Amino acid sequence: MNQKDYYKSLGVNEHASPEEIKKAYRNLAFRYHPDRSPGNEETMKEINEAYAVLSNPAKRGEYDSLRQRYGGFARDRFRQTYTEQDIFRGSDIGRIFEELSRAFGLNSPEDIFSRSSFYGPRYQTFEWKGSGLSGAGFFFYGPAGRTFQDRLRASALRRPEQATGGGRPFLSAFILRGLGLFQKLAAKKLGLDLPERGRDLHDAIGITRGEASAGEKVRYSCRKDGRVRNLLVSVPSGIKEGQKIRLRGLGGKGKQGGEAGDLYLTVKFRTPLGEKIRGLFRK
């Protein structure tokens, strides 16, 4: 028996208002959208089903009654009465996905839900697939998972000789800033909490000149999430004092599912204890 709960699927309580339910769904749909998070089709289908039921007053009322009678088995009881087509009939899921498509350049609902790994041919029978659901505008996420920003950066890196003469860096930066501003405004309008990358942290690491020359591993202690972590940091051979070593993902924690920042260690040369003692004797 499947004991999934629609309220838990959306991360809301049973007293959530329609506005709270819609906001929770939009954020989850954006986070688990197949173009942004491949491989989470089952999670996305679970979220879609939960929203289609809870956003409909009549279906939500019937589900709440089953919940009081059957507890964790309410969803199974509900599915005995409602088919998948019944659940999605009249839902505005397609319109919400179309909004995400226009604002962030994601694939249209037709392209997503008709996939065999999603609803496949059955999607054609869903009422919330309307004739106006055709994706339009620029593509932010490409088929290979690279963002439009990534492609712009790669283009600028591939042709540096043209970048200075044709104004490409300025144009790319202008487009990137414009896209970022557009997405923030769209997110605010749709009530989305965009993922935020954690902030980068900076510290120093003391190594000897011999360790720098040989490229050895050096012990380093840092505090993360309230705990002290002892690490072995690989020192690149020939590194110079003042240069930095990047530890990916050891910076500040991201928000709303965003990736963690990085930790940058500035190299500082230290004198080994033996050399210090010998220097004192020489003095």
Q: Specify the pLDDT at position 212.
A: 87
Task: Average the pLDDT over each of 39-53, 108-122, 237-251, 253-267 and give the range with the smallest value.
Answer: 108-122
Domain spanning 201-275 has what CATH number?
Answer: 2.60.260.20
Domain ranges of the chain: 6-125, 148-190, 201-275
pLDDT digits (tens, 9 = 90+) for 195-251: 778 889 999 999 988 888 888 889 998 777 778 888 889 999 999 999 999 998 888
The listed CATH number (3.40.50.300, 3.40.920.10, 1.10.287.110, 3.20.20.140) that belongs to domain 6-125: 1.10.287.110
SS3 track for the chain: CCCCCHHHHHCCCCCCCHHHHHHHHHHHHHHCCCCCCCCCHHHHHHHHHHHHHHCCHHHHHHHHHHHHHHHHHHHHHHHHHCCHHHHHCCCCHHHHHHHHHHHHCCCCHHHHHCCCCCCHHHHHHCCCCCCCCCCCCCCCECCCCCEHHHHHHHHHHHCHHHHHHHCHHHHHHHHHHHHHHHHHHHHHHHCCCCCECCCCEEEEEEECHHHHHHCCEEEEEEEECCEEEEEEEECCCCCCCCCEEEECCCCCCCECCCCCCCEEEEEEECCCHHHHHHHHHHC
Average pLDDT of span 131-157? 37
Average pLDDT of span 260-267? 91
Could you check whether 6-125 and 201-275 share the same CATH topology?
no
Q: Please tell me which of 23-37, 50-64, 155-169 the model is most confident about, judged by mean pLDDT.
A: 50-64
